[in-house]
Structure 1
């Protein structure tokens, strides 16, 4: 598949400026998580089937996606960034503009209310986490293909996420929701010393919610591996999947 014909799987062409479609008032030009399938799906197929051909075919579109998000982060700043964020010189790697689904429809959330909230205040923690993750996967794909690897971009994006959203050595991440900790653990955005603290906070949030999980569309597929990590590190058999 040539990258010029590439379409993120779940982003309709009429909603995606990246995909060459029409620009609309509520256009999802860079929907984090959904659009990142441009990178995550080829890498997953390669991992499962040890197939370098899928990486060769899709590598150009993987680059296009990551480059487009890097430009958005560098050239656009949202209201939160304008009024100050603790990312310092790494601000240009924080993705806090664009219309995103975010951690779509956690239990109890209203679709319309979430859509409007995401428009007013884009979910920067979610978008920046996926930017860091896709950048890292792209660098790994480049190594597999013996291409030049922009590992520096991946490291800068990871550092920006940590500076902006990780506090108290992993005890508090983002808005202190379950999915904030799931993403950080699943994407390797925490240092080893921070991982058990984040896992403990995730366990506490699950317990505070009556033993129930409260993630949305994006983080739910990552729950099994993260909760298995949590169980191994904390041996908390009370966590129910």
Structure 2
């Protein structure tokens, strides 16, 4: 396969002077073209006197791989820099916080579902609450984990004094919003005096969660008593103040 070569105009090229030749003598020279990296082909013109050779090397863009890409070829997709593949530190921290929140929230729901029915007989776990937890009901309003523990202690004491049997049924557990756990419950009690009949209390507990999934507020509401009792139930405040 022949490679067309366009030779430059040599009309203005000055012929090098050769020693022993007088200007104007019939010294001849030849012009050769050579591709880069290939053999040099020499063509000589014979004549009187010495001969001269001029070799012109022609660049070959195909061999040198300097051709532009094809007209309709799709460009290579740029490689994604490492900084773009890795999430920023703030996003990683946010993802870790979200995972911790859902883990703690799941622990809180499981603990409440398992321990609330036996709250009158066994002390519940308090690691799902914050140390500054606030408790609210229609009568009481307290803050702090120590006061919150006293509330459960008072409930157990009241149940042992006035009831032969006391238990809690959980009707439903749901989340109206992400950071709130709602529990609908019913307290059943069999008084020690049989003439008083069975007592029943209905109510709801609202637990609010912070950004770490810990409970920082417990609110008791919608308490309804379905049977009258002949004994006096002491307020929780009297147990805490003593």
Tell me the TM-score normalised to structure 2 length.
0.20
Identify the structure with the greater strand proportion.
Answer: 2
Point out which structure has higher relative CO (alpha carbons under 8 A, 6+ apart): 1
- Higher percent of residues as helix: 1
Which of the two has higher C-alpha Rg?
A: 2
